[in-house]
Amino acid sequence: MMHHGPAALRLRTVDHESLVIVLSARGSPLDAAALDPLADTRVLWVRVEREGEAACLAARIRHGDCREDFQDRLRRWGAARGWAVTVAPGRRPD
């Protein structure tokens, strides 16, 4: 018999790593906290540079979904805010 209560919950592992670049010319405000709402992620480091209305965020992020799914998810997330997003493969976690 399969148990479906709280004890049966499985936690996803954060086992992929990507480098993320987010560019904003005039979209929503872009700062280090912008990544906080992303589910199933862990931000290892983040840097933000600004000049006038333009901002660029670079981050190394660990995530549970495969890189292709993560890339699609981040591009949709960024587009909804007026940002351009690039995702590149990072090294596998130790």
pLDDT along the chain (94 residues), means of 10: 46 78 90 93 96 94 94 96 94 59
**Token couple for 56:** 């660029």
**Token couple for 70:** 């993560």
Q: What is the pLDDT of residue 57?
A: 98
Q: What is the pTM of this model?
A: 0.78
Q: Please name the residue ranges forming H helices in the chain.
A: 67-79
CA–CA separation, 37 and 15 (whole Å): 19
Q: What is the pLDDT of residue 27?
A: 80
- CATH of the structural domain 13-89, one choice from 3.30.70, 3.40.50, 3.30.160, 3.90.550: 3.30.70
**Token couple for 35:** 């990544």
CA–CA separation, 17 and 40 (whole Å): 12
**Token couple for 74:** 């981040």
Q: What is the pLDDT of residue 94?
A: 53
Q: Where are the domains of the chain?
A: 13-89
Q: What is the pLDDT of residue 13?
A: 59
Q: What is the pLDDT of residue 26?
A: 84
